[in-house]
Structure 1
Amino acid sequence: MKRFLIVFVLFFTILNLNAQSKFLDSEQDLNAQFESLKIAPNDSVKWSLSQKIMDDLKTVLRKKGSFSYPFSLINNLGKVTSPDEQLRIFSWNYTLENGDYRYFALCQKKDGRKTRLFEFQQNLQVEESMTTKLSSDQWLGALYYQIVPFKYNKKSLYLLLGWDGNNNRTSKKVIETLGFSKMGNPEFGFPLINWRGKRLSRVIFEYSKQVQMQLKYHERVNCVVFDHLSPSESRYINQFEYYGPDFSYDALELKNGIWNLVEEFDTRNLN
């Protein structure tokens, strides 16, 4: 029996190593491409490199076993998996010569025993509205760092937290809702955020490039907690390059599938 167990363990160790090795060469190649993107001399080269990365990453993510592969060697690729292990998003960006940002993303979604792959396409013609529903080819663009699964009327949905470098003057943080249609296609902007009497599809915060904004989901209290932003002086209202945290906090609290704004949130509840 002991000999059988040793053989069994060795067999599955070899299988695992073989599964890992089939991604290693592609991972190293992709990492080299991201390094090239980081030092690319102009917008045209950056665009071409990002399209090559997109094509190669699609090829890799269509392989069996890719959902569980960590891709930890690729330093400049955002990788985030939902706690229910049903959704995984890869995102990256580059900065244009004028200081604006361009974003790219691929999403893996479990569908029974299969895994479906979707591309999120940043659409610069789409108005940045907090009340519209958008398809995957109307994506506003962001680097996502946290995914929160939740349900509304028994439908599985996700709250995405992301960052957008925006431009030379301001950065943005984004709270986005994501779901999937009856056909299984991704849809952004389910109106499930209660915000000061309005029902929003997403929340976009804009603030000075000189500061940082905290935006994080805390599982213990089932809330997304974030810095309250204010202008440095009242004369700068709606001039977001002068906005920053004012040392108070707000939150979105999940109740019955709706994210409700809680102003003046007491962060002592997090301890």
Structure 2
Amino acid sequence: MKQLILFLLAIITLRTNAQHINATQFEQMRNAEDSMKPFANQMIFAPETSTRFFADSVFIRSLVKVLKNSNSFYYPFDSIKTVSKIYAPDSSFRIFTWQIEKDESYYRQYGAIQMRTADGSLKLFPLTDQSDFSATPTDGVRTNKNWIGAIYYGIVQKEFAGKQYYTLFGFDDNDLFSTRKWLEVLTFNEKNEPLFGGPYFEYENDTIKPDQPVSRFCLEFKKDARSRLVFDKELDLIIFDHLISESNELDKKFTLIPDGDYEGFKWANGKWQHVNKVFSEQPLQNGQFPMPVPLLDDNGNPKNQ
């Protein structure tokens, strides 16, 4: 039995080491990354629209070329800061996303999913932003070919009935008047192809959130407002700002701003179920009023802070 265990450990070690990038591969990819960085910066920061789109085209071709290197999945591209790179918690894939600004009223997102493969070969799913052609982007399960674009900044993995669900947190500058943040549940079909969205969000209808059913959750708000959409590990909750209209026009998303309260989603039975109020305040009794935390105890001694 002991020899069998040692043998299995040796096999696991060999397979693990085989996935590591050797020195030659690392140097080749680092050189490629150095040549890509100027274009990665230009496609975001160049003042001319034509330069941004040209740099984007060069960057995409260069990225695909370097990803064709064996075991490229393990190369981090850490020096390219203008592209988001998030990994699935189980390391089964990673997603590259970024956006290009045509002008202040038009943004388009780009991206790709790179799968981790046993032999280190490239398995890549380009993401094609089709949000401009979607009258109701919250509806419908989508593939990588008709993706609702976003820059992904977070990912949460959940399991239900033996299936893995990856919830993506995304940002979209949208247009001149409003910003969007997205929750998108990513799954993979029997062919291991990505599917975006599905009936994974349950909440009571109101005047701000869209009518059910929806396949993805969108938080849209005023351009210069700051709205939170994050996952709290300690609470095991998705938390987002409760929005109100500053002009009492709830149908106009560009008037929505946070009011200091928070809503959330809790994973249960394979769905994100709405939590109407995340933080409940303790009501004051009659005759009580809010008081600061005292610095001294009843004997006049300093309290431990």
- Short-chain TM bin: 0.7 to 0.9
Deviation of 1:113 (Å) = 4.8
**Counterparts of 2:23 and 2:78 in 1: how far apart (Å)?**
16
Counterpart for residue 257 of structure 2: 244
1:1-271 to structure 2, matched below 5 A, reads 16-114=22-120, 116-123=123-130, 124-196=132-204, 198-234=212-248, 236-266=249-279
Q: Would the aligned equivalents of 1:103 and 1:143 in 2 still touch at CA under 8 Å?
A: yes
Instruction: State the identity %.
Output: 25
**Counterparts of 2:258 and 2:219 in 1: how far apart (Å)?**
11
Deviation of 1:22 (Å) = 1.9
Q: Would the aligned equivalents of 1:218 and 1:225 in 2 still touch at CA under 8 Å?
A: yes
**Counterparts of 1:251 and 1:130 in 2: how far apart (Å)?**
18
**Counterparts of 2:42 and 2:115 in 1: how far apart (Å)?**
29
**Counterparts of 1:204 and 1:194 in 2: how far apart (Å)?**
13
Structure 1-normalised TM-score? Answer: 0.86
Q: Would the aligned equivalents of 1:128 and 1:140 in 2 still touch at CA under 8 Å?
A: no
Name whichever of 137-146 and 217-226 sits farther off: 217-226
Structure 1: give runs of 5+ residues left out of the alignment. 1-11
Deviation of 1:69 (Å) = 1.8
AA aligned to 2:241 is D
RMSD over equivalenced CA pairs, Å: 2.1
**Counterparts of 1:254 and 1:63 in 2: how far apart (Å)?**
38
Write out per-residue CA displacement over residues 61-94 of structure 1, whole angstroms, 9 at most, x where no aligned residue.
2322322222111121111112211121111111
Q: Would the aligned equivalents of 1:178 and 1:187 in 2 still touch at CA under 8 Å?
A: yes
AA aligned to 1:266 is F
**Counterparts of 1:31 and 1:192 in 2: how far apart (Å)?**
38
Name whichever of 44-53 and 54-63 sits farther off: 44-53
Structure 2: give runs of 5+ residues left out of the alignment. 1-17, 206-211, 282-305
The change in CA–CA distance for 1:89 and 1:35 in structure 2 (over 3 A counts) is same
**Counterparts of 2:260 and 2:274 in 1: how far apart (Å)?**
17
**Counterparts of 2:110 and 2:181 in 1: how far apart (Å)?**
17
- Secondary structure (helix, strand or coil) at the match of 1:237 reads coil
AA aligned to 1:68 is Y
Counterpart for residue 7 of structure 1: none
Number of aligned pairs? 254
Write out per-residue CA displacement over residues 26-82 of structure 1, whole angstroms, 9 at most, x where no aligned residue.
111111111222343543443332222112111222322322222111121111112
Structure 2-normalised TM-score? Answer: 0.77
Deviation of 1:265 (Å) = 0.8
Q: Would the aligned equivalents of 1:249 and 1:267 in 2 still touch at CA under 8 Å?
A: no
**Counterparts of 2:61 and 2:145 in 1: how far apart (Å)?**
16
Write out per-residue CA displacement over residues 218-260 of structure 1, whole angstroms, 9 at most, x where no aligned residue.
22322111111111132x2221221111101011100122110
